Amino acid sequence: MQQPLATQRVQGMSGTAMLSVSSLKVAYGGIQAVKGVSFDVHQGELVSLIGANGAGKTTTLKAITAIQPVADGDIEYMGRSIKGQGAWELVKQGLVMVPEGRGTFTRMSIKENLHMGAFVRNDKAGIAADMEMVFGIFPRLKERASQLAGTMSGGEQQMLAMGRALMARPKLLLMDEPSMGLSPIMVDKIFEVIADIHKRGTTVLLVEQNASRALSLADRGYVMDSGEITMSGEAKALLKDPKVRAAYLGE
């Protein structure tokens, strides 16, 4: 049984990648949105995938999590191909995504939304403990546990979406544009929480348009443009790269 999130330990990069995407192609009708993308995420890492709007980042995450069909290539998770598996099966294996737009259940309460994150689990004591862990990370959710999700602000809904994902006890957490549409203060809070989740032991693949914040947080980064990986490397090196700074940091 996986350890509770609060007691997991970060493992360094070694051996087989936790996630390995190989020559991935994804198409919408006759339009190829992802054109042979390959990248790895190792256990214990925080990896950022950056790029302009429309670069194919979200489509890549949807393909990894079985929301969007794969046209060609392969996706391996924990050393095994996961092509053809259902999204719920992947969640059960610890591959969990916080989607772009949050995707909260607006007519359900905060507490009910969090319980939905644990739908693949049946360990009542563990679920209750993780609920308290989530409330510890996001005190505002505890204060408003009975409030309908649809009445919350965008930032609060982002907190809820992240908390719901944590209830699944992710081994690998995929996050799609978590800072989109949020106030600067809320952006700071969200990035603080992402750093905390990573320090607690969860491997993270972060898709984010805010390249500076994403790379400042990450161990490694990939740059995606027009459906292809165009650059990769240590996050600190990418932050200093003139091409990255000109294209994504407004310099």
CATH class of 15-248: alpha beta
Residues 189, 105, 180, 225, CA torsion sign:
positive
What are the start-end ranges of the E strands in 29-156?
Answer: 31-41, 46-50, 72-77, 80-81, 95-98
pLDDT for position 135: 95
Note whether 38 and 24 are within 8 A (CB). Answer: yes
Tell me how far apart the terminal alpha carbons of the chain are, to the nearest angstrom: 48
Per-residue pLDDT band at 175 (split at 50, 70, 90): very high
What three-state secondary structure class fits 33?
A: strand
Per-residue pLDDT band at 15 (split at 50, 70, 90): low
Give strand pairing partners of 207: 49, 176
Per-residue pLDDT band at 48 (split at 50, 70, 90): very high
Q: 36 to each of 40, 56, 63, 113, 170, how far by Cα in Å?
A: 14, 11, 12, 36, 27
Q: 208 to each of 44, 84, 100, 162, 214, how far by Cα in Å?
A: 19, 27, 10, 15, 6
For β-strands 31-41 and 19-28, DSSP reports them as antiparallel
Residue 15 token pair = 């051996």
pLDDT for position 30: 83
Note whether 90 and 173 are within 8 A (CB). Answer: no
Across 24-40, average pLDDT: 93
pLDDT digits (tens, 9 = 90+) for 198-241: 998 999 999 998 899 999 999 999 999 999 999 999 999 999 99
Residue 6 confidence (pLDDT) above 50: no
- CA nearest neighbour of 206 among 243, 89, 88, 219: 219
pLDDT for position 28: 87
Give strand pairing partners of 34: 26
pLDDT for position 8: 37
What's at 207, amino acid-wise? V
Residues 6+ apart with CB under 8 A from 216: 235, 239
Residue 41 confidence (pLDDT) above 80: yes
pLDDT for position 106: 85
pLDDT digits (tens, 9 = 90+) for 93-114: 999 999 887 678 889 999 999 9
- Please state, in angstroms and rounded to a whole number, the distance separating the CA atoms of residues 165 and 86: 17
- Please state, in angstroms and rounded to a whole number, the distance separating the CA atoms of residues 153 and 133: 22
Across 117-136, average pLDDT: 93
Radius of gyration of the chain (CA): 17
Residue 109 token pair = 């309460």
pLDDT for position 7: 34
Q: Give the single-character DSSP code of 4.
A: P
pLDDT for position 1: 37
Per-residue pLDDT band at 251 (split at 50, 70, 90): low
pLDDT for position 9: 31
> What ranges do the domains of the chain cover?
15-248
Residue 248 confidence (pLDDT) above 90: no
Helices 154-166, 124-137: axis angle to 10 degrees equals 150
Residue 133 confidence (pLDDT) above 80: yes
Per-residue pLDDT band at 2 (split at 50, 70, 90): very low
The DSSP line for 221-239 is EEEEETTEEEEEEEHHHHH
